[in-house]
């Protein structure tokens, strides 16, 4: 760095010395950034860990759930006693990440993302770590409307997916929704028109795929926060951990998408 006198070993006194060696990574921007993480389950644990270790200055974590024993095969910040005590996921992730990077401001928000007051206060990127289509679409629509980039992650066993949504020009999550998603939505709203739950089998989930997908999500967020959206995945990355392969699929904006009608 210009004007800086380095004494032997001083580069080991700086927490972010090795990060600063990556030319495009804007450490100042990261420390000034406000990021929203929706979901504090397996992906949320890994995503918040990576954001905190990367030097992001302000992270809000939303989740309505408490810890259960079956979370413990893939969640860094949860312990057995958290499941016994029904600890709230958002709070535990915030507390755990604070230990990793004490300067980071971590705000847990215990509740449904749908109930978060608007407007969302100045987030530069939103990371989706959700396990259901409804919440994903809600976050996608609001992020797009407020022109906040949205990085959505999902896993199913050894497979996973990351989609980067860059408003106002890029396609959104809903642009890529297929018929089966639509059927889920119709089923959910078919009875009373309100929030009707129906049985959804639990998906397979394990930590190695969770780690890979969360890492890709945060890497995309770091590009966005460093003002390098040109480096981002266009638009969806599919990961197959059984074959050790990944593939990127480009998407178009859908004409029928209600989030950004094409004139
Ligand atoms: Zn769309």
Residue ranges, the chain, pLDDT below 50: 188-196
Write the Ramachandran bin of 244: left for phi over 0, alpha for psi from -120 to 50, otherwise beta. left
* Kind of pairing between the strands at 159-165 and 58-63: unpaired
Domain ranges of the chain: 16-249
- Cα of 94 vs centre of ligand 1, distance in Å, is 32
Residue 30 has a pLDDT of: 98
- Cα of 260 vs centre of ligand 1, distance in Å, is 6
Compute the distance between CA of residue 66 and CA of residue 63 in angstroms, rounded to an integer. 9
Closest CA to 241 of 155, 128, 127: 155
- Cα of 216 vs centre of ligand 1, distance in Å, is 22
- Cα of 150 vs centre of ligand 1, distance in Å, is 12
Which long-range contacts does 224-231 make (Cβ < 8 Å, 24+ apart)? 224/124, 224/125, 224/149, 224/151, 224/166, 225/26, 225/29, 225/30, 225/33, 225/35, 225/56, 225/124, 225/125, 226/24, 226/25, 226/26, 226/29, 226/30, 227/26, 227/29, 228/24, 229/149, 229/166, 231/24
The SS3 of residue 63 is strand
Task: Provide CATH code, domain 16-249.
Answer: 3.40.50.720
Residue 233 has a pLDDT of: 98
Compute the distance between CA of residue 259 and CA of residue 173 in angstroms, rounded to an integer. 10
- Cα of 117 vs centre of ligand 1, distance in Å, is 23
- Cα of 169 vs centre of ligand 1, distance in Å, is 10
- Cα of 193 vs centre of ligand 1, distance in Å, is 23
């Amino acid at each position: 760095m210009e004007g800086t006198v380095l004494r032997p070993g001083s580069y080991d006194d700086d927490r972010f010395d090795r990060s600063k060696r990556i030319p495009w990574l804007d450490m100042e921007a990261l420390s000034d950034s406000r990021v929203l993480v929706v979901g504090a389950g397996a992906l949320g644990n890994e995503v918040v860990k990576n954001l905190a270790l990367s030097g992001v200055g302000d992270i809000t974590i939303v989740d309505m759930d408490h810890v259960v024993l079956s979370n413990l095969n893939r969640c860094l910040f949860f312990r057995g006693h958290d499941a016994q005590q029904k600890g709230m996921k958002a709070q535990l992730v915030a507390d755990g990440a604070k230990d990793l990077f004490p300067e980071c401001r971590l705000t847990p928000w215990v509740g449904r993302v749908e109930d978060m007051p608007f407007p969302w206060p100045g987030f530069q990127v939103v990371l989706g770590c959700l396990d259901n289509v409804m919440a994903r679409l809600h976050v996608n629509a609001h992020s797009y409307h407020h022109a906040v980039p949205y990085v959505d992650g999902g896993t199913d066993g050894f497979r996973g997916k990351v989609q980067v949504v860059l408003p106002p020009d890029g396609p959104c999550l809903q642009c890529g929704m297929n018929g089966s998603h639509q059927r889920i939505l119709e089923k959910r709203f078919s009875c009373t028109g309100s929030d009707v739950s129906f049985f959804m089998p639990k998906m397979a989930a394990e930590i190695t795929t969770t780690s890979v997908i969360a890492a890709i999500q945060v890497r995309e967020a770091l590009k966005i926060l460093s003002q390098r959206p040109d480096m981002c995945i266009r638009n969806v990355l599919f990961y197959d951990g059984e074959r050790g392969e990944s593939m990127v699929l480009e998407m178009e904006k859908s004409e029928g998408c209600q989030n950004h009608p094409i004139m």
